[in-house]
């Protein structure tokens, strides 16, 4: 039937292929209807019962799930800490963009030994405030963190400290 139709319509090979593809798609779209119509005109009662049960199941109460609560840190460790600003002498040629592609802001931390996105707390200096590792340091620095600060004077006042950090799971 399709080849007869294509002989009648004198088109280029590309147009003929597109017409054939459209006819195949249309005939495939009608296939499920023809299969069900030939099989039985009555609705499938098992299928309808399953759909009704699924709808009722969404309204059924299963009780309450236990709450997880706050997880503690995965581990704590002693590291060296300094502070930095978005000054060209302290960063690369994009001083306000972190290694992860975000913009520098309060709460950003640079560290090479932790994965990007790791959350840490520095309880002795910042209490429960959460810092996120979003930047990297020069490759020669390893167990060291660099805290981003807005003002140069704040970074100078921070200086160099040995601190304990709490590292939290990423998920």
What are the extents of the domains in the chain? 2-55, 75-168
Q: Report the pLDDT value the prediction gives residue 7, as an integer from 0 to 100.
A: 57
Q: Locate the DSSP E strands across 44-123.
A: 75-84, 108-111, 119-121
Identify the helix (H) or strand (E) that includes residue 26.
helix 13-39
Who's near 19: CB < 8 A, 6+ residues apart? 5, 6, 9, 11
pTM above 0.85, yes or no: no
φ, ψ of residue 130 to 5 degrees: the values are -100, 130
| Three-state DSSP class for residue 85 | coil
Q: Report the pLDDT value the prediction gives residue 34, as an integer from 0 to 100.
A: 47
Q: Report the pLDDT value the prediction gives residue 35, as an integer from 0 to 100.
A: 52
Q: Report the pLDDT value the prediction gives residue 120, as an integer from 0 to 100.
A: 94
Per residue of the chain (171 residues), give pLDDT as tens.
Answer: 555 554 555 667 777 778 887 777 776 666 555 455 555 556 677 777 777 777 776 666 666 767 766 778 888 999 999 998 887 776 767 777 888 888 888 999 999 999 999 999 999 999 999 999 998 888 788 889 999 998 889 989 999 999 999 998 776
Could you tell me the maximum CA-CA distance found in the chain, to the nearest angstrom? 87
Q: Report the pLDDT value the prediction gives residue 61, as an integer from 0 to 100.
A: 66
Q: Is the distance from CB of 98 to CB of 85 less than 8 angstroms?
A: no
CA distances from 165 to 121, 145, 170 (A): 6, 9, 15
CATH architecture of 75-168: Beta Barrel (2.40)
Q: Is the distance from CB of 139 to CB of 112 less than 8 angstroms?
A: yes
């Amino acid at each position: 039937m399709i080849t007869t139709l294509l002989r009648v319509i004198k088109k280029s090979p590309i147009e003929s292929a597109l017409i054939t593809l459209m006819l195949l798609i249309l005939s495939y779209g009608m296939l499920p209807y023809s299969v069900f119509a030939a099989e039985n005109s009555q609705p499938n009662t098992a299928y309808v019962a399953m759909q009704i049960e699924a709808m009722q199941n969404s309204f059924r109460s299963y009780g309450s799930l236990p709450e997880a609560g706050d997880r503690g840190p995965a581990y704590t460790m002693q590291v060296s800490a300094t502070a930095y600003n978005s000054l060209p002498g302290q960063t690369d040629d994009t001083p306000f963009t972190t290694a992860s592609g975000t913009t520098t802001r309060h709460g950003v931390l640079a560290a090479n030994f932790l994965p990007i996105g790791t959350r840490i707390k520095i309880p002795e200096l910042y209490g429960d405030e959460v810092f996120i590792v979003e930047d990297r340091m020069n490759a020669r620095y390893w167990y060291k963190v660099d805290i981003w600060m807005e003002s140069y004077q704040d970074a100078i006042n921070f200086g160099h400290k040995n601190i304990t950090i709490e590292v939290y799971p990423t998920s």
